[in-house]
Amino acid sequence: MSDPIAEILVAPERLTARVDELARQISADYAGEELLLVGVLKGAVFFMADLARRITVPCALDFMAVSSYGSSTDSSGVVRILKDLDTEIEGRHVLIVEDIIDSGLTLSYLLKNLRSRKPASLEICTLLTKPARRRTNITCRYVGFEIPDEYVVGYGLDFAERYRTLDFIGVLTAEAAAVAGEDEALL
């Protein structure tokens, strides 16, 4: 297959530099505290691994898996918890780590759900955000990059489970999206 990437949006060096900055900011903001990073599987895994290793305050990790999509590229607004946290979060400082905020529906559900467990604090750190697509109002304390309304892959983000392992954020060609979509239909 020809190169499936139409355009590189964020090169590896820019990713590394921005993750460093976010980690520095988070470490300063939570100085003297212990932090629980809650990663949203699977897209946030690469970002969270890099971020967590650069944060200098003591940091525990936990994960949630949710399904939010009716189709592969459009949020349905219906969110189901596929895997819940292993730990209690009452009284703890929780930072949700996300790969991308698109409509915001997934996170707004997660926020409501986690808030009801009474953490000491609850904030969001997302690598990417597409403000043009937002359908709900969400306050996100840490944002890596604002990107245009394009479907992106790499550094954890997939299309039909492909391209997560790319070390940059790229825009898929329409051709690659069609092929990945066909394969998914066969599953």
- The count of residues interacting with ligand IMP (CB under 6 A) is 17
Q: Which is nearer to Mg ion, 56 or 76 (CB)?
A: 76
102 catalytic? Reply is: yes
20 to 79, contacts with Mg ion by CB under 5 A?
Answer: 40, 43
- The count of residues interacting with Mg ion (CB under 5 A) is 3
90 to 109, contacts with Mg ion by CB under 5 A?
Answer: 99
For position 5 contacting ligand IMP by CB under 6 A, the verdict is: no
Give min distance, CB of 34 to ligand IMP, in A.
Answer: 26
Which residues, 6+ apart, have CB-to-CB distance to 149 below 8 Å?
130, 132, 133
Q: Say which of 84, 86, 102, 183 is annotated catalytic.
A: 102
Which residues, 6+ apart, have CB-to-CB distance to 178 below 8 Å?
none
70 to 129, contacts with ligand IMP by CB under 6 A?
Answer: 75, 98-106
Give min distance, CB of 1 to Mg ion, in A.
Answer: 25
50 binds, among Mg ion, ligand IMP, none (CB under 5 to 8 A by kind): none
40 to 59, contacts with ligand IMP by CB under 6 A?
Answer: 40, 43
Q: Which residues bind ligand IMP (CB under 6 A)?
A: 40, 43, 68, 75, 98-106, 151-153, 157
Residues catalogued as catalytic? 102
